[in-house]
């Protein structure tokens, strides 16, 4: 009996000790969470946002995503800059240059480019080449220092102020190019042929003017010209107004110019497609759960006449959604060269201290199921012509080719309308 009692006492003592250990551990963990510094909280918030939104959760298993969080939070992170650097290290194994942390300056500039009409910098839209991870020029903004310096789509950024772009990465390369108006930045550029040159660029305020329009006249027909330089929040309304203005001028055809439009808000690109298509599929998006969501245009259109759409290798993202929807539905002939090939959609999320994180949340396909990512869109008619120094000018041979195509189309339409009348007279 004493033996049984002693065993009971030993078991009771061990159980009590175990409870003390468990509760002490939990208490320590609670203390740790409560004592998490603001800088480490920034890292944890970024991890949580990416964990909840990233479009390819299978990648998390490949890289041991939870272990990365644990190891990152064990680092000494005492300042905001140390937090941003830690987040960059944490995101690197995802191998997605578009999922990135945005420091306060970059976050504010990105928001202003999406919602405003001006941005300070050199006027470069950058991407990352899939094979080499080199920082590549997607497009230059019209009237920007970069365009005036002769930087073109397809060029590579080698260095910014003497620091290699490979060392900086895409996000930090873009960040170093931005800055206050009047300040200068030294950029080393290499062309696709391998030619290297250094350019001293002065940052300034660039007027984005996202929608530009005019009327083109020749002896026989009146054609409307509509250029969209990027898809900011205000663009769909501006396009509606521009199309109404062109209709009032009785244009017979439309040239839609998407050259060097590197994208912007996907919702704006879809809204413009909705203005030009009647009850047709615009795009199919695929989220992290593999669910495909097809977006279809409404019945009413703002313009239903003949169209030609101009694209080049600076046409990317939301521009490719629009171009792909017009091509697949037979709504517009595409003329130019192969587009950039960005088929991923990012969502912008706010972090503390006015910073943010951009997260790739979905991929998209054209209405016929074509994957654009890394491939781009092939035009119906390839143009082996140099790009104009000023888009839409009298010297722009691309626009002239589009104009001639529409003239020919309209003349054929006129003949087909007249033919039945002639037949009736003969009968």
| Residue range 211-411, CATH number | 3.90.226.10
DSSP calls for 281-321: EEEEEE-TT--EEEEE--S--S--S-EEEEE-TT--THHHH
User: Among the residues of 64-187, which ranges form H helices?
Assistant: 65-73, 80-91, 104-115, 145-148, 165-177
Nearest to 206 by CA among 181, 173, 235, 174: 181
pLDDT value of position 131? 66
262-to-229, 247, 258, 326 alpha-carbon distances in Å: 8, 27, 9, 17
21 C-beta neighbours (distance < 10 Å), count = 10
pLDDT value of position 114? 61
User: Residue 383 and residue 260: Cα distance in Å, rounded?
Assistant: 15
**Span 118-207 CATH architecture:** Roll (2.30)
User: Residue 186 and residue 122: Cα distance in Å, rounded?
Assistant: 11
Report CA torsion sign: 37, 39, 40, 45. Answer: positive
**DSSP 8-class letter at 402:** H
C-beta of residue 206 within 8 angstroms of C-beta of residue 123: yes
Report domain extents, the chain. Answer: 1-35, 37-95, 118-207, 211-411
Instruction: Tell me the catalytic residues.
Output: 317, 328, 342
| 243: enclosing H helix or E strand | helix 235-248
Chunked mean pLDDT (size 10), the chain, 427 residues? 48 45 40 66 96 94 96 93 95 92 84 57 80 80 85 90 88 82 92 91 81 87 94 93 94 95 91 96 90 90 96 93 97 96 91 89 92 94 86 91 93 65 36
pLDDT value of position 82? 95
Which pair of tokens denotes residue 330?
């037979």
User: Residue 421 and residue 253: Cα distance in Å, rounded?
Assistant: 24
């Amino acid at each position: 009996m004493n033996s049984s009692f002693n065993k009971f006492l030993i078991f009771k003592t061990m159980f009590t000790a175990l409870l003390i250990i468990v509760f002490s551990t939990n208490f320590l963990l609670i203390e740790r969470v409560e004592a998490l510094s603001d800088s480490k909280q920034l890292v944890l918030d970024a991890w949580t946002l990416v964990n909840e939104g990233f479009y390819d959760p299978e990648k998390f298993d490949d890289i041991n995503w939870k272990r990365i969080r644990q190891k990152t939070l064990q680092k000494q992170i005492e300042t905001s800059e140390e937090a941003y650097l830690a987040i960059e290290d944490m995101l690197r194994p995802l191998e997605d240059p578009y999922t990135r942390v945005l420091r306060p300056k970059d976050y504010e500039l990105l928001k202003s480019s999406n919602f405003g009409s001006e941005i300070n910098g050199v006027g470069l839209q950058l991407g990352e080449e899939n094979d080499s991870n080199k920082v590549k020029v997607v497009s230059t903004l019209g009237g920007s220092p970069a365009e005036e310096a002769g930087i073109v789509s397809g060029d590579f950024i080698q260095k910014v102020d003497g620091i290699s772009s490979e060392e900086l990465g895409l996000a930090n390369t873009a960040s170093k190019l931005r800055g206050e108006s009047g300040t200068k930045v030294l950029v080393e550029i290499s062309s696709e042929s391998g030619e290297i040159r250094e350019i001293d660029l002065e940052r300034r305020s660039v007027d984005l003017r996202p929608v530009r329009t005019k009327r083109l006249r020749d002896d026989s027909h009146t054609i409307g010209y509509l250029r969209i330089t990027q898809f900011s929040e205000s663009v769909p309304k501006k396009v509606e107004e521009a199309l109404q203005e062109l209709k009032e001028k009785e244009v017979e055809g439309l040239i839609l110019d998407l050259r060097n439009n590197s994208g912007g808000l996907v919702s704006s690109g879809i809204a413009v497609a909705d203005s030009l298509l009647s009850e047709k599929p615009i795009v199919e998006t695929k989220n992290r759960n593999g669910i495909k969501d097809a977006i279809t245009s409404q019945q009413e259109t703002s313009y239903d006449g003949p169209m030609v759409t101009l694209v080049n290798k600076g046409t990317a993202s939301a521009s490719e959604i629009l171009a792909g929807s017009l091509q697949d539905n037979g709504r517009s002939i595409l003329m130019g060269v192969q587009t950039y090939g960005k088929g991923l959609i990012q969502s912008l999320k706010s972090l503390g201290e006015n910073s943010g994180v951009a997260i790739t949340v979905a991929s998209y396909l054209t209405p016929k199921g074509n994957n654009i990512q890394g491939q781009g869109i092939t035009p119906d008619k390839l143009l082996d012509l140099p790009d104009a120094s000023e888009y839409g000018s009298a010297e722009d041979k691309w626009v002239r080719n589009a104009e001639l195509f529409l003239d020919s189309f309209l003349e054929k339409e006129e003949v087909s309308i007249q033919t039945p009348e002639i037949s009736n007279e003969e009968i």
